[in-house]
Chain A
Amino acid sequence: MTQRASDVTVSPPRRRSKYTVAPLVLIAANVVLFALFFMWPAVIGLVYSFTNYTGVGAFQFVGLDNYSKLFGDSTFYDATTRTLLYTVLFVPLNFVFSLLIANVLVSKHAKGVSVARIFFFIPWLLSPIVVGVLWRWLFGENFGLVNYLIEKAGGSAVPWQSNADLSLLVVVVAASWAWTGFSMLLFIAAIKNVPTSYYEAAALDGAGPWRQFISITLPSIAPTSFIVILLNTIHAMKEYPLFASLNNGGPGTTNNLLVQYIYQTGFKSGQIGYASAASFVLMLILMAVAIIQLIVNRRVENR
């Protein structure tokens, strides 16, 4: 973490040398990769979104047809609203839990922190596919541990898989569980950087732990909160593997999200042009998210 402090002092570029050959040699490999796997696909993706290309053979330009069809397509519309709903549920849940856990982990009073930390980390290591399998196993309607415990406690089995909203909720919980480790790591670093003298001063003034958290910790870690929310939002908008293995977008197709929609139209039914248009809509949403959060962040910081 020492990089950060010195980064600030070094970064006004002090007379960096005017060499040309050496830096170009150093970045050559990455430039080639960038051109092949970023520029080229980005350009043809944009071009194809105005065509009826199927992936093979000839194609025609169809103007804005793909886009207008997209907005008339109720499946696309459903996938988009479902994706937004998933994001709106996942991001706050992940935020609250990772912040809570980060606070407990940096607390001087809690015992066994170094061991407990591993428990929060392992879910983050698991692949989304395995996380999906794991939660499918826990939330099985007829055989799952969760329904078993509910029935033991006198309740009746909950239709975790066949009710569309509950099914989405299980994915939200699973995703939040899996991503806590990552967000928590960012929060721990931020909380540790809050000067302890602030807390000592507040304690002398008689502020309790909750008051200290609200008035010192939260404002001090605002930039990190912003990063966590931004990254989690972008991550959630692109979610697919977790759904694939947990409920396969089910029941039926109610929980098909955007990336799954792109995958299905593009690769299952060979409508590359149409899928490219859907991709660009996803990109516009992601950029809008980034810009909105940037503006909000600037406002918060200027206050």
Chain B
Amino acid sequence: MTTTDTPRKVDSTPGRAVPKKRSGSAASGGLRRAIPATTLLWVLAALYGVPVLWFVLSSFKPAGDLFSLPLTLFPTNPTVSGYEAAWDSANFSQYFINTAIVCVIATILTVGVSCCTGYALAKYDNKWLKAFFVGILATTMLPGEVMLAPLFLVVRDLGFYNSLAGIILPAVLTATGCFMFRQFFLTVPDELIEAARIDGARELSIFLRIMVPISRPIMLTLAILSFQWRWNDYIWPLLMLNDPEKFTVQIGIQSLVGAQNINWSVLLGGSVISMVPLIVVFLVFQRYVMNADINAGLKD
């Protein structure tokens, strides 16, 4: 993965002749190529977009219209009653607050801890660090799902059962986060640190005052990813939480599905509400997600 970066820049010069020739044969040729490619693109986009569109539009239909034939794409009498019912009946506001607490705290801790670890792994060299790096690698081999039962017992014995801390703390250890920061700090020249040392700066203040500020883009990328992981988590909160007052949004939605007779109006409303925060975060920070070097190591 690490080899082919430079050629792109290089070939802009020798390749210059080719675009000129192409632009000579001009507009009709461009259009002839644009039509099939664009058609294919938008057929595919529709394939991915229509399910969501149908889902969201359906959520604005009154409960009585949901199944009335013929099905129509747009709601004839748009209403938000499904949303209101979801928000009230299933204690959604509480779920939302719980999920928000988990996401925000877990994300802050994840970014902080991963930044420290990634920096140490990139810029220092001793046998403890090497051993720990192997350990971090091992966590990618044993995903949480494999350790469900023993991890549950450990967290219970630590006294975190049925608490939001029990969801947050195990999530802070992420190999992906450490690898992302490690990759980033490897690119920071060692001379920067040497210079600061010569000026008499102490190790930890070099980290806090120079390294933390320059790693801001990575922090943001990891924060978005971490927020998404925690927002969408299902099985671990399901195991940890017993008290409906502490449920997260995903458990709330799944409990609506588990009901004997699904109330689709409430379920659709609740599901759409749960999508909103992530979609807002994504649209605001789109370019960071798109440029994320998620090759670096991948596990949630």
Could you tell me which A residues sit within 8 Å of B by CB distance?
A: 1-8, 10-11, 13-27, 29-31, 33-34, 36-42, 44-45, 48, 55, 97, 100-101, 104-105, 107, 109-113, 116-123, 125-130, 132-138, 142-143, 145, 148, 177, 180, 182, 185-186, 189-190, 192-197, 200, 220, 223-224, 227, 231, 234, 238, 240-241, 244-245, 248, 259, 262-263, 266-267, 272, 275-276, 279-280, 282-283, 286-287, 290
Q: How many residues of B contact A (CB 8 A)?
A: 115
With a cutoff of 8 Å between Cβ atoms, the chain B residues found around residue A142 in the complex are 67
B244 proximal to A (CB < 8 A): no
Q: List 30 A-B contacts (CB under 8 A).
A: A1-B291, A3-B183, A10-B186, A18-B125, A18-B126, A19-B124, A21-B203, A22-B124, A26-B124, A26-B204, A27-B117, A30-B136, A38-B138, A38-B147, A41-B151, A42-B150, A48-B149, A48-B150, A112-B42, A117-B290, A122-B282, A126-B275, A128-B232, A129-B253, A130-B271, A138-B55, A241-B250, A263-B235, A266-B148, A272-B153
Interface residues of B in 171-220 (CB under 8 A from A): 172-173, 178, 183-184, 186-187, 189-190, 203-204, 207
A187 CB to closest chain B CB (Å) equals 11
B49 proximal to A (CB < 8 A): yes
Cβ of A287 and Cβ of B145 under 8 Å apart?
A: no
Q: Which of A133, A190, A240, A286 contacts B257 (CB 8 A)?
A: A133
Interface residues of B in 90-125 (CB under 8 A from A): 112-114, 116-117, 119-121, 123-125
With A and B bound together, what is the CA distance between A234 and B146 in angstroms? 11
Residue of A nearest to B53 (CB): A119
Q: Which of A113, A227, A279, A286 contacts B295 (CB 8 A)?
A: A227
A24 CB to closest chain B CB (Å) equals 7
B80 proximal to A (CB < 8 A): no
With A and B bound together, what is the CA distance between A106 and B283 in angstroms? 20
Residue of B nearest to A9 (CB): B187
Q: A110-B38, A266-B148 are in contact. Are A129 and B169 (CB under 8 A)?
A: no
With A and B bound together, what is the CA distance between A21 and B204 in angstroms? 10
B135 proximal to A (CB < 8 A): yes
Residue of B nearest to A134 (CB): B55
With a cutoff of 8 Å between Cβ atoms, the chain B residues found around residue A240 in the complex are 145, 234-235
Q: Which of B123, B169, B187, B203 contacts A37 (CB 8 A)?
A: B169
Residue of B nearest to A242 (CB): B234
B14 proximal to A (CB < 8 A): yes
Interface residues of B in 14-66 (CB under 8 A from A): 14-15, 18, 30, 33-34, 36-38, 40-42, 44-46, 48-49, 51-52, 54-55, 58, 66
By secondary structure, the B interface counts as helix
A131 CB to closest chain B CB (Å) equals 9
With A and B bound together, what is the CA distance between A88 and B297 in angstroms? 23
With A and B bound together, what is the CA distance between A261 and B151 in angstroms? 17
Q: A101-B44, A145-B54, A196-B8 are in contact. Are A10 and B267 (CB under 8 A)?
A: no
Q: Residue-by-residue, is B219-238 near A (CB-CB < 8 Å gives 1, otherwise 0)?
A: 00000000010011011000
With A and B bound together, what is the CA distance between A128 and B251 in angstroms? 11
By secondary structure, the A interface counts as helix
Q: A129-B234, A143-B67, A220-B4 are in contact. Are A116 and B37 (CB under 8 A)?
A: no
A180 CB to closest chain B CB (Å) equals 7
Could you tell me which B residues sit within 8 Å of A by CB distance?
A: 1-8, 10-11, 14-15, 18, 30, 33-34, 36-38, 40-42, 44-46, 48-49, 51-52, 54-55, 58, 66-67, 69-71, 112-114, 116-117, 119-121, 123-126, 128-129, 132, 135-136, 138-139, 141-143, 145-155, 158, 169-170, 172-173, 178, 183-184, 186-187, 189-190, 203-204, 207, 228, 231-232, 234-235, 239, 250, 253-254, 257-258, 264, 267-268, 271, 274-275, 278-279, 282-283, 286, 289-295, 298
A112 CB to closest chain B CB (Å) equals 7
Cβ of A3 and Cβ of B187 under 8 Å apart?
A: yes
Cβ of A3 and Cβ of B184 under 8 Å apart?
A: yes
Residue of A nearest to B55 (CB): A134
With a cutoff of 8 Å between Cβ atoms, the chain B residues found around residue A17 in the complex are 124-125
Which residue of B30, B33, B169, B295 has the most chain A CB atoms within 10 A of its CB atom?
B295
With A and B bound together, what is the CA distance between A177 and B50 in angstroms? 12
Q: A36-B158, A110-B38 are in contact. Are A186 and B279 (CB under 8 A)?
A: no
With A and B bound together, what is the CA distance between A134 and B58 in angstroms? 11
B1 CB to closest chain A CB (Å) equals 5
Cβ of B126 and Cβ of A130 under 8 Å apart?
A: no
With a cutoff of 8 Å between Cβ atoms, the chain B residues found around residue A220 in the complex are 4
A15 CB to closest chain B CB (Å) equals 8
A96 CB to closest chain B CB (Å) equals 12
With a cutoff of 8 Å between Cβ atoms, the chain A residues found around residue B204 in the complex are 22, 25-26
Residue of A nearest to B124 (CB): A23
Cβ of B294 and Cβ of A245 under 8 Å apart?
A: no
A44 CB to closest chain B CB (Å) equals 5
With A and B bound together, what is the CA distance between A231 and B128 in angstroms? 29
